Amino acid sequence: MSVYVYPGSFDPITNGHMDIIERASKLCDKLIVAVLVNRSKTPVFSLEERVDLIKCSVKHLHNVEVESFSGLLIDYMNEKKAKVIIKGLRAVSDFEYELQMALLNKNLDSDIETLFMMTNINYSFLSSSSVRELATHKGNIDGLVPDCIKERVIKRFSG
């Protein structure tokens, strides 16, 4: 059984993330969307909220699971018996960092591959931080996040 992992902070999940999730889910038997506990960041949504937002967003995809993890991605990959890391790229600027991470992970475990997927051009400008910025200033986030989470995102920033 082929198991792929799509790691990230997803604070919040966007339609750009969903584009990668939907396409990657067609390439493997099981795709795990793995929400990273990143101690160097202070997320707007708690870990539990991010997992819940993603679960709502992927419920139509039967081979997608959502979990959280902390520590090294390579250790998590081995625990899940996964061999492929999915990374979404929007622009060349994403590639430089992600290439370094892929090479580091390959150095740690030569059996792990990283698959880079270019996001749909319609989402090439989209990031979680841009959604947070728009929502903070009561901007329109229609079409930027999955419909099932839109009101929750708006509510978080309406205070």
pLDDT at 126: 94
Task: Work out the pLDDT band at 91, boundaries 50, 70, 90.
Answer: confident
Section 116-123 average pLDDT = 94
Per-residue confidence band for 158, with pLDDT thresholds at 50, 70 and 90: confident
Annotated catalytic residue: which of 80, 90, 106, 152?
90
What is d(CA 26, CA 130) in angstroms, rounded to the nearest whole number?
Answer: 28
Instruction: Average the pLDDT over 140-158 and give the result.
Output: 95
Give the mean model confidence (pLDDT) for residues 7-22: 97
**Residue % of the chain over a pLDDT of 70:** 99
Query: What is the structure's pLDDT at 94?
Result: 87
The confidence score (pLDDT) of residue 159 equals 67
pTM: 0.96
What is the average per-residue pLDDT within 84-93? Answer: 92
**Catalytic residue check, 17:** yes
Task: Taking residues 107-132, report their average pLDDT.
Answer: 95
Confidence of residue 40 (pLDDT cuts 50, 70, 90): confident
Please indicate whether residue 137 is annotated as part of the active site.
Answer: no
**Which is nearest to 48 in space by CA: 129, 152, 157?**
152
Across the chain, what does the average pLDDT equal? 95
More confident residue, 70 or 91: 70
Distance between CA 88 and CA 20 in Å, rounded? 6
159: burial class by Cβ within 10 Å (0-12, 13-18, 19+)?
Answer: exposed
Q: Phi/psi of residue 47, each to 5°?
A: -55, -45
Radius of gyration of the chain (CA): 15
What CATH code is assigned to 3-156? 3.40.50.620
Question: Which is catalytic among the residues 50, 57, 128, 132?
Answer: 128
Of the residues 41, 81, 138, 155, only one is catalytic, namely 41
Domain boundaries in the chain?
3-156
